[in-house]
Amino acid sequence: MNHNSPHRIKNVIVKEWRNTFFNLNSAALIIFLPLLITLQALFVVYMVIRFASADSLNSTLLERGLNLLQSSIPSLSSLSTIDQFQVLFYSQFPLYILLIPIMISLIFATFSIIEEKQAGALEPLLATPVRTWELLLGKATAGAVPTLIITWICALVFLTGVNWIGSPDILNYVLSPSWWISLFLFVPLVTILSFMLGVIASSRTDDPKSAQNMGVIIIIPLLLLIGMQVTGIIALNTFNMLIMAIIMAISNLIILKAAVYLFQRESIVIKWK
């Protein structure tokens, strides 16, 4: 690594934060969208347990998911039926919360690159000695740090809501190993993965919305996992989630190399000139 690399990466990070958080629309989107996603999840669970009876819940597809959860956590049977369904719903949040880093990272990646291309601000930067990997690492770090902080704040908001809606016993079941694996392994890995997919898409289009469609590659499998788990088709345990984290880490390395390779630095600079 060149001894000037840390300095150049730092400059990219500072520039990204200045451009993002001094823009009221971008800052509001990054801050309030994650909170909306979190509060939406809490609201849906609250409405279900408030207006649905235990018998009606037992007669749905959710019964199989609850039975599977009871088999993995035998002590769950000591709770009331409504509380058991609360635990079932809340146990999906370690996956659901990944929507936050996916969306925020894609916003950072696409607007950071495409808006700069449209404004003519990216080309002068690419004409400097900064290397492609330094530029992408700086942009990724600039997006990852606030994304992680915001996601963890939303997790705290969620836990506060869980404690307020249900009994204190429910919170003990929610804070499972899967919860910590998601927060401290999945969230950082998904953040990097989403950003790099955004970089790949942004290097091929000038439309932020088109580039953000790359998020579908992650969002659809994620929603399918949640749906299959809550209906009892599959059950993700600690071992499975650790295997998924390893696979995701390997995928990140592959996609990082692809992002650096596909980032069309030369064509952007030539077009600017």
pLDDT at 237: 87
Element (H, E) at 146: helix 132-165
Long-range pairs for 175-180: beta carbons < 8 A, 24 or more residues apart: 176/91, 176/94, 177/238, 177/241, 178/91, 178/94, 178/236, 178/237, 178/238, 178/241, 179/93, 179/94
Terminal Cα-to-Cα distance of the chain (whole angstroms): 29
Mean pLDDT throughout 182-210? 85
Kindly report, residue by residue over 223-246, the tens digit of the pLDDT: 898 888 888 888 888 999 999 999
What tens digit of pLDDT does each residue of 60-108 get?
Answer: 778 888 888 888 888 888 888 888 889 999 999 999 999 999 989 888 8
Give the chain's largest Cα–Cα span: 70
Confidence of residue 272 (pLDDT cuts 50, 70, 90): very low
What mean pLDDT comes out for the span 205-223? 80
How far is the C-alpha of 108 from the C-alpha of 163, rounded, in Å? Answer: 32
Q: Is 30 exposed, middle or buried (0-12, 13-18, 19+ CB in 10 A)?
A: buried
Whole-angstrom distance, CA of residue 81 vs CA of residue 58: 9
> Cβ contacts of residue 96 below 8 Å, gap of 6+?
37, 41, 226
Task: Quote the pLDDT of residue 122.
Answer: 63
pLDDT band at 121 (very low <50, low <70, confident <90, very high): low
76-81 — which CB contacts under 8 Å span 24+ positions?
A: 76/173, 79/167, 79/169, 79/170, 80/54, 81/54, 81/57
- Report phi then psi at 236, rounded to 5: -90, 120
The answer to whether the beta carbons of residues 225 and 93 sit under 8 Å apart is no
Q: Exposed, middle or buried: residue 155 (CB in 10 Å: 0-12, 13-18, 19+)? A: buried
Distance CA 40, CA 16 (A): 29
d(C-alpha 153, C-alpha 183), whole Å: 11
- Whether the pTM exceeds 0.95: the reply is no
Q: What's the mean per-residue pLDDT of the chain?
A: 84
Higher-scoring residue by pLDDT: 259, 180:
180
Note the pLDDT of residue 268.
47
pLDDT mean over 180-208: 86
Given pLDDT bands bounded at 50, 70 and 90, which one contains residue 269?
very low
State the pLDDT at residue 270.
41
Q: What is the pLDDT of residue 1?
A: 54
* 113 against 141, higher pLDDT: 141
Burial degree of 133 (CB within 10 A; 0-12, 13-18, 19+): middle
